[in-house]
Amino acid sequence: MNHKLIEGDLLARDAKFAIVVSRWNELITRRLLEGALETVRRHGGSEENVSVVWVPGSFELPLIADRLAKSGRYQAVCCLGAVIQGSTMHHDYINHQVAAGIMRSSQESGVPVLFGVLTCETMEQALDRAGGKVGNKGSEAVLAAIEMINLLQSIDQNPS
């Protein structure tokens, strides 16, 4: 192989995170937050370097995430929420806008803004993805944030 490989490791070291959490479906989002904080600790990070910001619902995640990403104080922002389908179509409108807003914030700020928002049909599915039998999406979002922080640093240190 003649190619150069650039990767980000999974060590949080002194990484500074903001975690934005939706109060809506707090039974679920609190579990996502617990998984996220545990992952920071497990990968060598400190909760002293984590700011947790609560917002009313998932629809509010992108605005606050964008403000935090552009503040210059954080190397990554993780958005945690849970939108459960229910009997109306509101989830389609919310999910699309939240995903687009989070992606836009990441691209415009140059700071990784991670999507840890559950988009489930039922409460049971959400519980399964918030520390149940399918894992914890909050943990996965922080793990991706750690890797992205380190990947961006590797790219900056190895420009060619």
Domain ranges of the chain: 17-152
Q: Which residues pair with residue 77 across a beta bridge?
A: 18, 113
Q: Is residue 122 a known part of a binding site?
A: no
- Judge whether 115 is annotated as a binding position: yes
Is 90 tagged catalytic?
yes
| Catalytic residue chosen out of the listed positions 43, 90, 91, 96 | 90
Q: Is 128's pLDDT higher than 90? A: yes
3-state secondary structure of 45: coil
How high is the mean pLDDT of the chain? 94
50 is known to lie in a ligand binding site: no
Confidence at residue 159, expressed as pLDDT on a 0 to 100 scale: 66
CA–CA gap between residue 69 and residue 21 (Å, rounded): 15
Task: Give me the CATH topology for the region 17-152.
Answer: Rossmann fold (3.40.50)
**Is 83 assigned a ligand-binding role in the annotation?**
yes
| Chain segment 24-66, per-residue pLDDT in tens | 999 999 999 999 999 999 999 999 999 999 999 999 999 999 9
Got the DSSP string for 70-114?
A: TTSS-SEEEEEEEEE-TTSSHHHHHHHHHHHHHHHHHHHHSS-EE
Q: How many angstroms from the chain centroid is the CA of residue 55?
A: 14
